[in-house]
Amino acid sequence: MSKALRAARERQAGWIVAGVVSVVVAAIAGLAFGPVSLPPGSVAAEVLNLIPGVHMHSGLDEREIAIVTQIRLPRVVLALLVGAMLALAGGCYQGVFRNPLADPHLLGVAAGAGLAVTAVIAFRIGSGTSGGDVTSGLPLTTPVAAFAGAVGAVALTYLLGVAGGRDRSPATLILAGVAVSAFLAAGQTYVMQRNVDAIREVYSWLLGRLATAGWHDVLVILPYALVTGAVLLLFRRELDVLSVGDDEAASLGLHPQRSRYILLAAASLGTAAAVSVSGLIGFVGIIVPHTVRLLAGASYRMILPLSVLFGAAFLAFTDLVARTVASPAEIPIGVVTAFFGAPFFVLVLRTTKRVSL
């Protein structure tokens, strides 16, 4: 093995370790800090006690243990899952469309899923109740409906972006996404106006939130997260091949359209599941993959796995900020991610424009 190859593998391993560490730190911080602050070391010991056969003295009393394991742990796990899926989907969309600005929200995917979830909430599809918080008992139909809306939205954006030619420049695709998002937002507003009793509930969901009454939401979206992660990570090498163009990819034995459809379906599934439980949390899919690309290189063999790790850590830290910076009040997490993401998007847009020129 050459020194250059060995150095590259050591560098990749180093980034994987850094990603794992960031997830652990974010999780412990999310469990330890809040209206009631607890020692991080004691919190870590209590989490380890959940592993069968492990018995450690954490020093926490029963009330503090309940705060960690019953209140904060489901929320932190949900944040890790949602952040990982949004970042992974963003990296996939950027590779499939060969567009550095592609993002679940900018392509209208989240808007499509949002319209579907709004319909589920407003019409109580799949739910036997007529009220309550959407996050406290997510109907099993919600991720399925969100997936249908997400796939429809990305298809509309793609078709509109290539209408009249094969130009898929960043500006064209983003404008198509904006148009599709506006259309779907109008439909969402219509549904809300026709069901005024659900407006408060939908509005709370739209701002983005990770509040959960337990493990229900985590268990509902976990299968979707596993399927999305398995498919996208398995096909990550094909994203590198697609990046050279369809003709070149076909000459290398790849079926570009088939791979593209599989990747888009898996990314839309992950986005839909995330949106169905967390609401419209924007910019995760553009901040994390771009940062990973700048730090660890342009190969999707590294971008996607690292996006999973750093996306999970990013949203867990963001959620911690959302529920502590204005304590005892809680800021919608979508507001916090937009605070970080809007300047980042402008920077990426300027850089992309400069490169294209």
What is the mean pLDDT of each successive set of 10 residues along the chain, which is 357 residues long? 78 94 97 92 94 89 92 95 96 87 82 88 61 49 84 86 61 81 91 83 76 81 93 93 82 85 90 87 91 90 96 96 87 89 78 52
CA–CA separation, 26 and 39 (whole Å): 14
CA–CA separation, 81 and 74 (whole Å): 11
Closest CA to 286 of 236, 245, 347: 347
Closest CA to 22 of 329, 331, 296: 296
User: The domain 3-356 is classified under which CATH number: 1.10.3470.10, 3.40.430.10, 1.10.10.10, 3.30.1380.20?
Assistant: 1.10.3470.10
- 220, 140 in Cβ contact below 8 A? yes
Instruction: For tokens 């899952």, name the residue.
Output: 81
**Cα dihedral: 44, 47, 51, 52 (round 10):** 110
Please give the biggest Cα pair distance in the chain.
67
- 270, 85 in Cβ contact below 8 A? yes
Burial of 74 (C-beta count, 10 Å sphere; 0-12/13-18/19+): buried
Collect all residues with Cβ–Cβ distance below 8 Å to 184 and sequence separation of at least 6: 108, 111, 112, 114, 115, 149, 153
pLDDT of residue 86: 95
pLDDT of residue 202: 79
pLDDT of residue 161: 78
